[in-house]
């Protein structure tokens, strides 16, 4: 039974702002991570919400941190609370209030900020309010002090930009600009699957599953598990994935469905429809960002015929079916899907005339409008939002500037890009699982301490046990945040930063994963938000040069990072100091 009933109101406030903090982690952090997949059209908004929600929730509940560090990252010492359980409850609640409020402001303004840095800064502010500046670890402190936050502003994006650029350059010159890009992509695909699986497995082991303590196993065991996992996935890709994409991309079998994937080797004998080779578009999605309403190739391809397969949809050159399948040689013919260029205001228009409330709201017609279009419509807006239309700009100078930025970058064949969409989805889902397992603690860590104090009436120990229901609560709020408000973050990212495609998005996500992985091993302070942002800039830079990157948008993003520390810290410190020192009866 709770022994601090006099502080029930503090516990209630803690519940509310823990929910809000987790909500904003989903709307800001997770949306930022999936913006590349949605922007490149590897996933629709609805698919991204479903997959991210599933991975985030399972990661949080199944392998989330069962023990949360009471003082996040060792920023302040437990001694600052002087064994006063009520003060500790108040301090952690103020930290959650400040962190959640700042994250809501940042998400509203489409600033991708670090949720980890937000709660860490808030806890530092609480420490200053309770014990003065001396109780906060301002320096490096073995990679756990406040100084690491400021170092991370430059370290994380720079390293991620380098890795993202390297992955994309390898992909570009090994596959995309070669004479036979699809043949090359199919040949090297097992290597890609092996490498990606190895990196993602290491991410799960070293960062994404703290409760399993896999990183505590003998190094030989860990290495063997990583290699075997990657090898198994690579072999499975040869058995199942390779024949599936061969039928869909090379044979242009438009009758194949996703469940045929499980037929594996039997697909090699599957005959495509007789008219399959006459198809020039539609058998794979159109991943292009620009020139989606043309049928004669992109302006870049027309202006520079020597450019390597810009805006390609693929038609075989061989004279017989066997030769066509053997050589996998292709020419350029673009697809014909129309481009969505509606302004953001039009995207958000909800048929106001047809759904206007007329007369008393209690009338049946008005109640139906309120329920169907005002309530349900707002709640489901996130999964139906047209991110691509919003990313094209609101019209005028902004849309022209974004379009000019996209013109600096080559677009490659839809069939080749389609092969990388599978890898991008695999990378995004695995990173989402690791994120749910690891970063859910940003919200539930302080709340688990509040719950421990409220239910036991004593100050928390060094490590606070986190009940499964709290992990599930945090995971559920992350999912709700992404599904209902994540669109606001995605609209300002993706193609607004640089032109996206599955190959580029895959390079960004893998580059960010490698950075987080190496940083966790060497104690380098990084944020997943900063890693994906840096990787985006790096890939955009090597894709089309400095003009292919929206530096103005990156400047606003960097400003959001810098403001996080003083705003969250000052707000939490002021709240704590105000309540501790307020006059009372």
Q: Report pTM.
A: 0.82
Q: Are residues 165 and 51 in the same domain?
A: yes
The vertex-88 CA angle with 87 and 92, nearest 5°, equals 115
Inform me whether the pLDDT recorded for 321 exceeds 50: no
Q: Are residues 60 and 193 in the same domain?
A: yes
For residue range 345-377, list pLDDT tens digits in order.
Answer: 333 344 445 567 777 767 777 777 777 666 666
Averaged over 236-246, what is the pLDDT?
A: 95
Does residue 64 belong to any structural domain of this protein? Answer: yes
Q: How far apart are CA 234 and CA 250, in angstroms?
A: 21
Residue 376's pLDDT is 67
Six-digit token string for 194: 């092996």
The single residue listed with the structure tokens 């992909």 is 171
Q: Are residues 157 and 68 in the same domain?
A: yes
Inform me whether the pLDDT recorded for 313 exceeds 70: no
Beta bridge partners of 332: 314
Residue of higher predicted confidence among 561 and 299: 561
Residue of higher predicted confidence among 202 and 571: 571
Residue of higher predicted confidence among 239 and 439: 239
Six-digit token string for 161: 């930009």
Residue 372's pLDDT is 66
Q: Are residues 433 and 365 in the same domain?
A: no
pLDDT band at 32 (very low <50, low <70, confident <90, very high): confident
Does residue 449 belong to any structural domain of this protein? Answer: yes
Inform me whether the pLDDT recorded for 154 exceeds 70: yes
Six-digit token string for 560: 């959001």
Q: How far apart are CA 526 and CA 513, in angstroms?
A: 11
Residue 430's pLDDT is 85
Q: How far apart are CA 221 and CA 210, in angstroms?
A: 17
DSSP annotation of 136 reads B
Residue 351's pLDDT is 47
Does residue 61 belong to any structural domain of this protein? Answer: yes
- Of the ranges 34-48, 105-119, 235-249, the best mean pLDDT one: 235-249
Beta bridge partners of 330: 316
The single residue listed with the structure tokens 């350029």 is 332
For residue range 514-526, list pLDDT tens digits in order.
Answer: 988 887 777 666 7
Residue 319's pLDDT is 38
Residue of higher predicted confidence among 446 and 293: 446
Residue span of the structural domain in which 501 resides: 5-205+401-580
Percentage with pLDDT > 90 across the chain? 38
Per the CB < 8 A criterion, the answer to whether 479 and 31 are in contact is: no
Among 335, 352, 385, where does a domain finish?
A: 385
Torsion of CA 214, 217, 218, 221, to 10 degrees: -60
For residue range 99-147, list pLDDT tens digits in order.
Answer: 999 999 999 888 888 888 899 899 999 999 998 888 787 777 666 677 7
Residue of higher predicted confidence among 432 and 336: 432
Does residue 157 belong to any structural domain of this protein? Answer: yes
Does residue 309 belong to any structural domain of this protein? Answer: no
The dihedrals phi and psi of 449, each to the nearest 5 degrees, come to -70, -40
Inform me whether the pLDDT recorded for 418 exceeds 90: yes
Residue 53's pLDDT is 87
Q: How far apart are CA 481 and CA 52, in angstroms?
A: 11
**DSSP helix/strand/coil, 463:** strand
Q: Are residues 132 and 182 in the same domain?
A: yes
Among 355, 385, 415, where does a domain finish?
A: 385
pLDDT band at 509 (very low <50, low <70, confident <90, very high): very high
Task: Give, in order, the Cα–Cα distances in Å from 430 to each of 216, 229, 427, 486.
Answer: 21, 14, 5, 19
What's the maximum distance between 2 C-alpha atoms anywhere in the chain? 94
Averaged over 294-319, what is the pLDDT?
A: 38
Please state, as a whole number, how many other Cβ atoms lie within 10 Å of the Cβ of residue 556: 14
Torsion of CA 369, 372, 373, 376, to 10 degrees: 140
Structurally, the chain folds into a number of domains equal to 2
Among 330, 361, 385, where does a domain finish?
A: 385
Q: Are residues 380 and 458 in the same domain?
A: no
Inform me whether the pLDDT recorded for 213 exceeds 80: no
Q: Are residues 118 and 43 in the same domain?
A: yes
Q: Are residues 575 and 530 in the same domain?
A: yes
Q: Are residues 380 and 476 in the same domain?
A: no
Six-digit token string for 505: 């998005």
Q: Are residues 503 and 406 in the same domain?
A: yes
Inform me whether the pLDDT recorded for 413 exceeds 80: yes
Inform me whether the pLDDT recorded for 414 exceeds 80: yes
Q: Are residues 437 and 348 in the same domain?
A: no
For residue range 45-73, list pLDDT tens digits in order.
Answer: 889 988 988 988 888 887 776 555 555 55
Per the CB < 8 A criterion, the answer to whether 539 and 164 are in contact is: yes
Residue 327's pLDDT is 43
Inform me whether the pLDDT recorded for 165 exceeds 90: yes
Does residue 20 belong to any structural domain of this protein? Answer: yes
pLDDT band at 16 (very low <50, low <70, confident <90, very high): very high
Q: Are residues 147 and 15 in the same domain?
A: yes
Does residue 211 belong to any structural domain of this protein? Answer: no
Residue 328's pLDDT is 41
Does residue 392 belong to any structural domain of this protein? Answer: no
- Of the ranges 83-87, 124-128, 334-338, the best mean pLDDT one: 124-128
């Amino acid at each position: 039974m709770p022994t601090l009933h006099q502080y029930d109101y503090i516990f209630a406030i803690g519940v509310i702002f823990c929910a809000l903090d987790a909500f904003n982690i989903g709307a800001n952090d997770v949306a930022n991570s999936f913006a590349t997949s949605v922007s490149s059209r590897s996933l629709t908004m609805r698919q991204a919400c479903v997959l991210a929600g599933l991975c985030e929730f399972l990661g949080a509940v199944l392998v989330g941190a069962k023990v949360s560090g009471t003082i996040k990252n060792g920023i302040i010492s437990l001694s600052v609370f002087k064994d006063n359980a009520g003060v500790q409850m108040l301090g952690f609640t103020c930290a959650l209030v400040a962190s959640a409020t700042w994250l809501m402001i940042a998400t509203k303004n489409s600033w991708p900020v670090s949720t980890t840095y937000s709660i860490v800064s808030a806890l530092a502010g609480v420490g200053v309010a309770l014990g003065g500046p001396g109780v906060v670890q301002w320096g490096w402190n073995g990679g756990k002090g406040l100084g690491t936050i400021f170092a991370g502003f430059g370290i994380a994006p720079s390293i991620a930009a380098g890795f993202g650029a390297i992955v994309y350059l390898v992909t570009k010159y090994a596959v995309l600009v070669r004479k036979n890009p699809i043949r090359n992509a199919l040949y090297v695909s097992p290597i890609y699957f092996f490498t990606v699986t190895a990196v993602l497995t290491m991410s799960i082991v070293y960062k994404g599953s703290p409760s399993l303590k896999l990183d505590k196993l003998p190094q030989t065991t860990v290495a063997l598990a990583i290699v075997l996992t990657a090898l198994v996935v690579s072999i499975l890709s040869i058995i199942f994935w390779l024949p599936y994409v061969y039928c869909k991309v090379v044979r242009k079998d438009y009758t194949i469905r996703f469940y045929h994937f499980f037929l594996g080797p039997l697909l090699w004998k599957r005959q495509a429809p007789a008219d399959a080779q006459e198809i020039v578009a539609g058998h794979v999605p159109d991943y292009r960002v620009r020139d989606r309403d043309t049928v004669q190739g992109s302006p870049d391809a027309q202006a520079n015929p020597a450019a390597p397969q810009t805006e390609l949809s693929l038609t075989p050159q061989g004279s017989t079916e066997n030769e066509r399948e053997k050589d996998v040689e292709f020419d350029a013919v673009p697809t014909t899907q129309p481009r969505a260029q509606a302004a953001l205001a039009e995207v958000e228009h909800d048929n106001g005339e047809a759904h206007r409330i007329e007369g008393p709201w209690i009338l049946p017609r008005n109640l139906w409008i309120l329920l169907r279009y005002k309530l349900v419509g707002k709640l489901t807006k996130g999964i139906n939002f047209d991110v691509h239309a919003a990313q094209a700009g609101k019209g005028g100078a902004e849309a022209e500037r974004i379009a000019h930025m996209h013109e600096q970058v080559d677009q490659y064949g839809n069939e080749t890009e389609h092969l990388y969409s599978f890898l991008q989805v695999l990378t995004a889902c695995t990173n989402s699982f690791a994120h749910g397992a690891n970063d859910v603690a940003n919200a539930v860590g302080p709340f688990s301490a509040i719950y421990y104090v409220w239910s036991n009436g004593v100050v928390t120990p060094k490590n606070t046990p986190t009940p499964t229901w709290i992990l599930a609560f945090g995971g559920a709020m992350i999912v709700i945040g992404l599904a209902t408000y994540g669109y606001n973050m995605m609209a300002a990212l993706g193609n607004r930063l640089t032109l996206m495609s599955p190959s580029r998005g895959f390079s960004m996500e893998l580059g960010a994963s490698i950075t987080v992985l190496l940083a966790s091993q060497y104690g380098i302070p990084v944020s997943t938000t900063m890693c994906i942002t840096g990787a985006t800039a790096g890939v955009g830079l090597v894709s089309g040069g400095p003009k292919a990157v929206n530096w103005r948008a990156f400047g606003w993003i960097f400003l959001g990072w810098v403001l996080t520390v003083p705003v969250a810290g000052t707000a939490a410190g002021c709240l704590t100091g105000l309540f501790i020192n307020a006059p009372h009866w």
